[in-house]
Amino acid sequence: MHDHSTPGFLPNPFDGLDAAAAGPRGSIDPRNPIASVNYQRTREMSIDELLLENRVVFLIGEINQASAARVMMQMLYLENQKRGQDIQLYINSPGGAVDDTLAIYDTMQFISSEVATYCIGRAYSGGSVLLAAGQQGKRHILPHAKVMIHQPYGGVTGQTTDIQIQAEEIVKAKQ
């Protein structure tokens, strides 16, 4: 058991998992359901369900429409379940689409729950924006994680008016 009052302590998203779910040497196989006792009844839960129940959301991989939708839906679900209780967002992302990144950002700002952010592995480009969007004092980078920030860029083709609109959108995203 860890002392949760220790400064810089990174909460373990697996705290409270049933020891029977652990495989060899205490490893956890995410493909195997875990028995969880809840309200005097037993049901099988996946690792994803257990993490969500503990208000933990993961953004792994490229930020695109599908990954953004998943993160936003999970945050809105958690907000609806226990409004105002912290959500932990773990990020390991190379970045991705600006619009999808900003949709997650807007969701983080919209909900009343504070979002603590953790960089595990990498937070590049849009991933770094989301890492920085975490609640002040609740932004964390693991010792070997990497963060990279760069100017927004894009490639457009089409009529000059379309190119001008896209250029204005990139400048707006930069601000």
Domain edges within the chain: 11-47, 55-174
For each of the chain's 175 residues, which pLDDT tens digit applies?
444 444 455 666 655 544 444 445 555 555 565 555 555 556 788 999 999 999 999 999 999 999 999 999 999 999 999 999 999 999 999 999 999 999 999 999 999 999 999 999 999 999 999 999 999 999 999 999 999 998 766 666 677 787 777 778 777 766 6
pLDDT of residue 135: 98
Catalytic pick among 5, 27, 144, 150: 150
- The candidate with the shortest Cα–Cα distance to 60, out of 16, 30, 25, 36, is 30
Catalytic pick among 67, 125, 128, 140: 125
DSSP-assigned letter for residue 134: S
Structural element, H or E, at residue 89: strand 87-93
DSSP-assigned letter for residue 158: S
**Under a CB-based contact definition with an 8 Å cutoff, are residues 37 and 55 in contact?**
no
Give the CATH class of 55-174: alpha beta
pLDDT of residue 168: 81
Catalytic status, residue 2? no
Q: CA angle, corner 118, sides to 19 and 65, nearest 5?
A: 100
pLDDT of residue 166: 75
Say how many C-beta atoms besides its own lie within 10 A of residue 135's C-beta.
Answer: 14
